Chains A and B, each alone.
Chain A
Amino acid sequence: MTTTMTPKDFATATPSWWCPGCGDYGVLSALKAALAELGKQPKDVAFVSGIGCSGKISGYLHSYAFHGVHGRALPVATAVKLANRDLTVIAAGGDGDGYAIGAGHFLHAVRRNPKMAYVVMDNQTYGLTKGQSSPTSQTGYITGTSPQGNPDAPINGLAVALAAGGTFLARGFSANPKHLVGLMKEAVEHDGFAIVEVMSPCVTYNKINTYAWFKQNVYYLDDGYDATDRVRAFEALTAEGKIPLGVIYREQRPTLETLTHLGATPIVDLRLDPQLRELVAIQDAYA
């Protein structure tokens, strides 16, 4: 069946909860457009989000959506993929969700490399809890819980992922939806764990990393950039100065599904029969 899908097919009737101007709107519309352009059906999309303003996104994407507990989107999404490898699996969450409370899972999802996309909606603050510093906030960022300035150095999520064996690392900006749609499409198609970190400004609490600040502090990787060069990628990610946007690194490595020897039939479709002869025979080893 080749029906043409439109972004509207991925819209829900639920009114948005986000502040006007929030960067998360751009992330949502880019996702919807990417899924439509890839011809995905809502029934085949499992969309798992974390907790935060960003985590609300699962309520606005027509799909099998899952809004779990803070920081645990990745283990849930990984298992959804293992349970039914035919699904298109996408996880999304904030910088706090992914790089603070969920940092452990982030590293291990990178190591496992399940085929799924992970969208980190980075606003360099904790939006939902009203503007505390997050793992990506700049040192010195002043908030209610850090009145003397955030003492911690910001985490570089993509560089960490590269070191941990990431196979697809991209960064976009929610104010450039066209570019973002391209990244999302590539991420969904990537045969492995694909991270798209999106600069998604919080207009209410983060008065430093604003749209204007981003416009001045980002640059787009050009055609001459070789995204398969690991060393170049590390340089691009860690260089002082402007923030690179685009696909920063990609490689092919066996997926979790391959390395756990999953069959072609999704686990969820296996027939369950307690009387299987081989099952009964297990007892012989104990006789």
Chain B
Amino acid sequence: MSAVESRGAAAAGSDCVIVNDIEIMFGGQAGDGSLTTGDLIAGVFKRMGLEVYTYKDFPSRIRGGHTNYVIRAGEHANYGTADFVDGLIAFDVEAVETHVHELRPGGFVVFDSSSETLPDGVKRDDITWYLVPIGKIAKEEIGLELVRNTVSLGVLARLIGMDPAIVRADVAKVYGRKGERVVDLNLRAIEAGETYVDQHFAEWPSGYGLQGRPDVDRLIMMGNDAIGYGALAAGCRFMAGYPITPATDVLEFMAKFLPRYGGVAIQAEDELAAINMVIGAAFTGVRSMTATSGPGQALMTEAIGLAGVLEIPIVVVECARTGPSTGMPTKTEQSNLNHLIFGGHGEIPKIVLAPGTVEDSFYLSAAAFDLAERYQCPVFVLTEQALCQSKATLPRLDLGRVSVDRGKLVTEPVVFGEYKRFAFTDDGVSPRVTPGLEGGMHLAAGSEHGEAGVITENPKNRARMMEKRMRKLESALAHVPPPLVHGDAKADVAIFGYGANRGPIVEAQRRLAAEGVPTRFLELRTLWPFPEEEVRAFVAGTRAVFVVENNYTGQLDRLVRYVVGPLERMHRVLKYDGRPFRPIEIVEPIRRAAPARGLAEV
């Protein structure tokens, strides 16, 4: 009997093809443990010396509902998913039905045939189908259906040639906390999966094979953990937040670590409380942050204006998800940019940073605290579900690159009556005191105030105070994280993008370049103050400009247009279905526009 019902054309006949880029998807019902197994696979790939990126696409519920976990591994660090899935491990028919069209021709599906049979309609004949009674093996051979994920890992390991020693070592490590018995069960589960493949399928049946490299000392970390870690390193000692997907991880990270460093993390009653707490702690002199997502950001908006007018340094992490309203809470989007930059009544200076990788999430999160204190204003760290809840391999983080510059914080007593908290200065930043300091008593009022803090509606003072506060943005401009240029800086196709889209854009660039369409990509890491000079310079000499973003209205595109004027050669590449870009979705629109404009021979 052979469970291989059909062999994909690409795999048929060939023995083992060593691929250096593979994307595995685990699909099943939420809560069935596939996340742990996904993490395990990612860990094994890492230890095989490969670059890893994971992406979780899970429903907004705890148990049930289709969920999938994508693990991509290869020689290049790809911060994003590929065009196609190479191998799908499907625990139910729904997983097959939902994702079969995403498979690469020549790819494979492992289907748990224990209780369901595949309807004929879904079976593409250009992929290989492995029907494995995974659940049954778990139940009958190991005596515990729960370990079916681990059995599937054994199956996969054999199919694609994962290093068996590393697989075992990682299983032992991951389940080690649960005791010897659990480790033993899972090791047996691996073995059972491997044996099944050996007994039923030819060697290297999938046609995929991964070649490991010596692992170097690296990390595998989720974006949200990198943000928390950056904050901790930068001396953040107070956090208040209200649970919301996909930002909760940051509060969990800080709740775990802050007490060890003398700090405190508070789960507030709502986001109104959270942001006001952050303001209170920052007013008192402690580096403070919150983390939220769209709905919470909306609630925080009034108080962020207060922080602006009171010139209080706060850091607000926005882990963007789809809106409006509840939207799709566990899905990604970039529709909050306008809100962060323009949200709020009245005008305040603010800084918006956007990391493009997990590594950059750490460094920008840390940098946010220095910027907040130097310019005494709210600093946002804007990330998206596709990055902040994804894990990636990265070099060890260098804490030597983290500074603690507290700006114009006054620590020596001042003379009451002479000291002015909101003194007019050339750079707009006034010396800042905190409660307890001799002589610095003053009123910090959200009402317009004079230099000493006394409330006044004097028109001359109002104008000067506005100018003073807004001047801080100009002062900050030269010191905010600069944009990065990827690709061929002289190419006549320009791309703009930020955040989670860095990965798919860079990958699209590589492919376009191979096709003879070189491109230049400006990755904006500071979105406000908007880097007008760099943006203007970047479009000079181009013949086509593409703005790539995950929203409907082209929020970044409008910012770019505002600077460069209405260019006929500008194109929007938009995606707003809640899923991150696959590279092909960027390659194609550029490829389409390129020959039409005579940019290159394709």
Interface residues of A (CB under 8 A from B): 12, 14, 42-46, 48, 58-59, 62-69, 71-72, 74-80, 82-84, 86-87, 104-105, 107-108, 260-263, 265, 267-268, 270, 272-276, 278-280, 282-283, 286-287
Contacts and interface: CB of A to CB of B under 8 A. Distances in A.
A282 B257 CA distance: 9
B447 interface: yes
A63 B441 CA distance: 5
B438 interface: yes
A44 B237 contact: no
Interface string B521-556: 000000000000000000000000000000000000
Interface in B134-188: none
A286 B221 contact: yes
Contacts of A12: 443
Nearest to B435: A64
B77 to A, nearest CB: 16
A130 B326 CA distance: 37
Nearest to A112: B266
A44 B259 CA distance: 25
Residue of B219, B263, B286 contacting most chain A CB atoms (<10 Å)? B286
Contacts of A278: 260
A87 B441 CA distance: 13
B259 A67 contact: no
A262 B233 contact: no
B277 interface: yes
A270 B444 contact: no
Given A43-B441, A84-B435, A283 B446 contact: no
B484 interface: no
A268 B276 contact: no
10 contacts: A43-B440, A64-B436, A64-B441, A75-B272, A76-B280, A79-B276, A79-B288, A80-B280, A261-B259, A272-B237
A77 B281 CA distance: 9
Interface residues of B, number: 68
Residue of A62, A64, A108, A260 contacting most chain B CB atoms (<10 Å)? A64
A59 to B, nearest CB: 5
B487 interface: no
Contacts of B400: 274-275
B131 interface: no
Residue of A12, A267, A273, A276 contacting most chain B CB atoms (<10 Å)? A267
B441 A104 contact: no
Interface string B215-232: 001111100010001001
Contacts of B287: 272
B243 to A, nearest CB: 15
Contacts of B238: 79, 82-83, 267
B280 A287 contact: no
Contact of A80 (B237, B263, B283): B283
Contacts of B237: 267, 270, 272
Contacts of A283: 219, 229, 396-397
A79 B278 contact: yes
Nearest to A76: B280
Interface string B455-499: 100000000000000000000000000000000000000000000
B262 A105 contact: no
Contacts of B438: 43
Nearest to A64: B435
A78 B240 CA distance: 11
Secondary structure type dominating chain B contacts: mixed
A76 B443 contact: no
B403 interface: yes
Nearest to A268: B285
B454 A14 contact: yes
By Cβ-Cβ distance, the 9 closest A-B pairs, closest first, are A79-B280, A272-B235, A76-B280, A83-B284, A64-B435, A75-B276, A79-B277, A274-B402, A67-B445
B276 A72 contact: yes
A69 to B, nearest CB: 5
B441 A62 contact: yes
Nearest to B236: A272
B399 interface: yes
A287 B173 CA distance: 12
B219 A43 contact: no
Interface in B93-150: none
Contacts of B272: 71-72, 75, 104-105
A191 to B, nearest CB: 18
Contacts of A72: 272-273, 276, 303
A75 B264 contact: no
B399 A279 contact: yes
Contacts of B263: 267, 270
A223 to B, nearest CB: 38
B286 A268 contact: yes
Interface in B244-272: 257, 259-264, 266, 268-270, 272
B438 to A, nearest CB: 5
Contacts of B270: 104
Contact of A68 (B233, B303, B439): B303
Nearest to B257: A282
A87 B435 contact: yes
A67 B286 contact: no
B302 interface: yes
B437 interface: yes
A59 B446 CA distance: 12
Contacts of A65: 441-445
A269 to B, nearest CB: 9
B434 interface: yes
B266 A104 contact: no
B234 interface: yes
A267 B435 contact: no
B353 interface: no
B283 A274 contact: no
A36 to B, nearest CB: 15
A42 B281 CA distance: 19
Nearest to A107: B269
B166 to A, nearest CB: 14
A262 B281 CA distance: 14
Given A79-B276, A82-B281, A105-B269, A280 B399 contact: yes
Residue of A75, A265, A280 contacting most chain B CB atoms (<10 Å)? A75
Contact of A286 (B225, B235, B288, B404): B225
B433 to A, nearest CB: 8
Interface in B283-318: 283-288, 302-303, 306, 310
B277 A268 contact: no
B239 to A, nearest CB: 10
Nearest to B402: A274
